[in-house]
Amino acid sequence: MATKLKPTDVVVIGLGAAGGVAVLPLTQAGIDVVGLEAGTWLTRRDFAPDEIRNNVRDWPQSVQKAQQEVPTHRVNAKANTTRAGSHPMMNAVGGTTLHYWAQSWRLNPWDFKVVSDTTRRYGAARVPKGSTVEDWPFGLDELEGYYDKVEYETGVSGQAGNIKGAIDPRGNIFEGPRARPYPMPPLRSTGFIDLMAAAARGLGWHPFAGPASINSRPYQNRSACMYHGFCNKGGCHVDAKNGPHLTTIPRAQETGRLKVVTRAHVTSIDTDDQGRVTGVTYVTDGQEFIQPAKAVLLASYTYENSRLLLLSKSKAFPNGLSNNHGQVGRHYFSHAQGAGVTALFPFNINAWYGLPAQGVAVDNFADDNYDHGGLDYIGGGNLWVMSDRRPISAASMGTFGRTPAWGKEWKAFIKENADRTNTAYIQKTTLPYEDNFLDLDPTVKDPLGFPVCRITADYKDNERKVAAHTQERMTEWYKAAGAGATQANPLGTMGPTTHAYGGTRMGTNPETNVVNAWGFSHEVPNLGVLGASVMGTSGARNPTLTAQALAWRTAEYLAKNWKSVTS
Ligand SMILES: Cc1cc2nc3c(=O)[nH]c(=O)nc-3n(C[C@H](O)[C@H](O)[C@H](O)COP(=O)(O)OP(=O)(O)OC[C@H]3O[C@@H](n4cnc5c(N)ncnc54)[C@H](O)[C@@H]3O)c2cc1C
Ligand code: SF4
CA distance 337 to 477: 18
What pLDDT is recorded for position 229?
83
What pLDDT is recorded for position 114?
98
> How many A from CA of 243 to the centre of ligand 1?
11
Q: Predicted confidence band at 60 (pLDDT cuts at 50, 70, 90)?
A: confident
267-295 tens-digit pLDDT:
999 999 999 999 999 999 999 999 999 99
Q: Counting ligands in written order, which one lies closest to the CA of residue 155?
A: 2
* Residues comprising the chain, all counted: 567
Query: Ligand 2: which residue has its CA nearest to atom 8?
Result: 236
> Is the model's pLDDT at 417 over the cut of 90?
yes
Question: Ligand 1: residues within 6 Å at CB?
Answer: 13-19, 36-39, 88-92, 95-97, 99-103, 233, 264-266, 299-301, 304, 308, 498-499, 531-532, 542-544, 547
Q: Which residues, including other chains, have CB under 8 Å from residue 435's CB and lie 6 or more apart?
A: 76, 77, 130, 456
What pLDDT is recorded for position 457?
98
> How many A from CA of 357 to the centre of ligand 2?
10
158-169 tens-digit pLDDT:
999 999 999 999
Q: Which residue, 477, 436, 443, 440, is CA-closest to 459? A: 436
Query: Ligand 1: which residue has its CA nearest to atom 23?
Result: 17
- Enter the pTM of the model: 0.98
What does 78-116 look like in DSSP terms, one character per residue? Answer: TSPPEE-S------BTTGGGGTS--B-PPPPHHHH-HHH
Give the H/E segment covering residue 547. helix 544-560
> How many A from CA of 66 to the centre of ligand 1?
10
Probe ligand 1: pick from 12, 98, 100, 554, max atoms within 8 Å of CB?
100
- The average confidence (pLDDT) of the chain is 96
Q: Predicted confidence band at 253 (pLDDT cuts at 50, 70, 90)?
A: very high
3-class SS letters over 4-63: ECCCEEEEEECCCCCHHHHHHHHHHCCCCEEEECCCECCCHHHCCCCHHHHHHCCCCCCC
Ligand 1 atom nearest the C-alpha of 533 is 26
309-340 tens-digit pLDDT:
999 999 999 999 999 999 999 999 998 889 99
Angstrom CA distances, 471 to 88, 108, 345, 397, stand at 25, 21, 17, 19
Burial, 361: exposed, middle or buried (Cβ in 10 Å; 0-12, 13-18, 19+)?
A: buried
Q: Predicted confidence band at 1 (pLDDT cuts at 50, 70, 90)?
A: confident
Probe ligand 1: pick from 54, 62, 96, max atoms within 8 Å of CB?
96
Probe ligand 2: pick from 227, 242, 390, max atoms within 8 Å of CB?
227
Question: Ligand 2: residues within 6 Å at CB?
Answer: 214, 225-231, 236, 238, 240-241, 355
CA distance 280 to 43: 28
Q: Which pairing describes strands 527-529 and 287-298: parallel, antiparallel, or unpaired?
A: parallel
503-550 tens-digit pLDDT:
999 999 999 999 999 999 999 999 999 999 999 999 999 999 999 999
Angstrom CA distances, 170 to 166, 237, 426, stand at 12, 31, 21
Contact 16, 244 (CB under 8 A): yes
> Is the model's pLDDT at 45 over the cut of 90?
no
What pLDDT is recorded for position 164?
98
> Is the model's pLDDT at 59 over the cut of 90?
no
Q: Counting ligands in written order, which one lies closest to the CA of residue 354?
A: 2
The torsion region of residue 8 among left (phi > 0), alpha (psi -120 to 50) and beta comes to beta
> How many A from CA of 496 to the centre of ligand 1?
12
Q: Predicted confidence band at 61 (pLDDT cuts at 50, 70, 90)?
A: confident
> Is the model's pLDDT at 49 over the cut of 90?
no
CA distance 149 to 163: 16
Cα dihedral across residues 366, 143, 245, 278: positive or negative: negative
CA distance 536 to 507: 8
Name the percent of the chain lying above pLDDT 70. 100
432-489 tens-digit pLDDT:
999 999 999 999 999 999 999 999 999 999 999 999 999 999 999 999 999 999 999 9
Ligand 2 atom nearest the C-alpha of 227 is 1
> How many A from CA of 300 to the centre of ligand 2?
26
Q: Which residue, 145, 187, 19, is CA-closest to 94? A: 19
130-174 tens-digit pLDDT:
999 999 999 999 999 999 999 999 999 999 999 999 999 999 999
Determine the average pLDDT of the residues in 80-101.
Answer: 95
Beta bridge partners of 344: 421, 485
